[in-house]
Amino acid sequence: MNDPKHVPVLLERVLELLAPSVTGDRPVVVDATLGLGGHTEAMLTRFEDLHVIGIDRDPQALARAGERLAPFGDRVTLAHAVYDEVADVVRDAGFDAVNGILFDLGVSSMQLDLATRGFAYAQDAPLDMRMNPDEGMTAADVLNTYETADLARVLRVYGEEKFAGRIAAAVVAARAEEPFSTSARLVELIRDSIPAAARRTGGNPAKRTFQALRIEVNDELGAYERALPAALDVMAPGGRVVVLAYHSLEDRFTKRTFAKVTTSDVPRDLPVVPVDHQPAFRLLTRGAEKASEVEILQNPRAKSVRLRAVERVAA
């Protein structure tokens, strides 16, 4: 089931980076953010012996991806889980280690397209934003219960919103009259809280607040900070981890984590590095790679992507 609206970001570059790690006997790759299965479909098509373990916390996305990937039969294992459970998922699938892991972070195109999920600020919908709609607090819960300072922190840190304090104060004042339930009222309040000059640039002024609420509701950064080290731990020698990040905090954490595992812990002036002190991974990318202007024109979601990758070189 191809979805014309679902365009996998940096697809060819992802396939190129994973290719050297999936040449052995029955290689296994984890798509830790399965979504609608675009990257996985391409991997299974390109690499004929590959088995993919697809993880997603969103049951609707998992069901749609399952339909799309059905032609590949038992070459696909689907897991309803958060990606910080990657080690358990790999073990439950019957594997001790894997040859590759892909993280395509952020919100999926399906979640944005379904108005009832409340991720998109361009259409009025219930303020939900849960990637798993069966558990956890909603965006409305955050707006209606957080103290002003806590709400401002969420908007400032996760949304990088310059006017976080103004928006938070306006939300707290407005909810005293009527709790927030749908997105249109929030979008209007954000627009009224931001100076006119600031509204003229940077797209829809609600974008940063909606991003911040989504990250808070789903504990996205916390889950990723647990998931990436776990992914490195289940990587077989020669295996590769590829990360597509769209938020500066996610990319910063990826950069720090990759720097740590690709750097020796002995003094730099030591003439010979003992084998047991050599780094277990090597960097595959110099800095963060970005999408080309051509891809951004074809797929606007690629505009903010930052790609980094490492390869395990030692057991």
Span 72-131, pLDDT tens digits:
999 999 999 999 999 999 999 999 999 999 999 977 554 455 555 556 666 788 999 998
Return the sign of the alpha-carbon dihedral for residues 202, 206, 209, 212.
Answer: negative
pLDDT confidence of residue 114? 54
Q: What's the CATH class of domain 115-218?
A: mainly alpha
Cα 32 from Cα 227, distance rounded (Å): 9
For the chain, the structural domain boundaries read: 11-110+220-312, 115-218
Considering the entire predicted model, what is its pTM? 0.89
pLDDT confidence of residue 2? 43
Q: How confident is the model over 202-217, as pLDDT tens digits?
A: 678 888 999 999 999 9
Q: How confident is the model over 142-177, as pLDDT tens digits?
A: 999 999 999 999 999 999 999 999 999 999 999 999
Please tell me whether 56 is known to bind a ligand.
Answer: yes
Pick from 26, 42, 23: nearest CA to 34? 42
Please tell me whether 39 is known to bind a ligand.
Answer: yes
Given a cut of 80, whether residue 271 has pLDDT beyond it is: no
Please tell me whether 136 is known to bind a ligand.
Answer: no
Task: Supply the DSSP symbol for 81.
Answer: S
Q: How confident is the model over 5-28, as pLDDT tens digits?
A: 567 999 999 999 999 999 888 999
Please tell me whether 104 is known to bind a ligand.
Answer: yes
CB 32 within 8 A of CB 105: no
Please tell me whether 269 is known to bind a ligand.
Answer: no
Return the sign of the alpha-carbon dihedral for residues 261, 266, 268, 271.
Answer: negative
Cα 251 from Cα 295, distance rounded (Å): 20
CB 155 within 8 A of CB 161: yes
pLDDT confidence of residue 135? 87
Cα 128 from Cα 279, distance rounded (Å): 43
CB 33 within 8 A of CB 105: yes
CB 186 within 8 A of CB 127: yes
Given a cut of 80, whether residue 249 has pLDDT beyond it is: yes
Please tell me whether 83 is known to bind a ligand.
Answer: yes
User: Please, what is the angle between helix 11-18 and helix 38-46, to 10°?
Assistant: 50
Mean pLDDT across 48-71: 95
CATH H superfamily, domain 11-110+220-312: Vaccinia Virus protein VP39 (3.40.50.150)
Pick from 252, 227, 245: nearest CA to 291? 245
What burial class does residue 298 get, using C-beta atoms within 10 Å of its C-beta: 0-12 exposed, 13-18 middle, 19+ buried?
Answer: exposed
Q: How confident is the model over 33-47, as pLDDT tens digits?
A: 999 999 999 999 999
Neighbours of 256 (CB within 10 A): 10
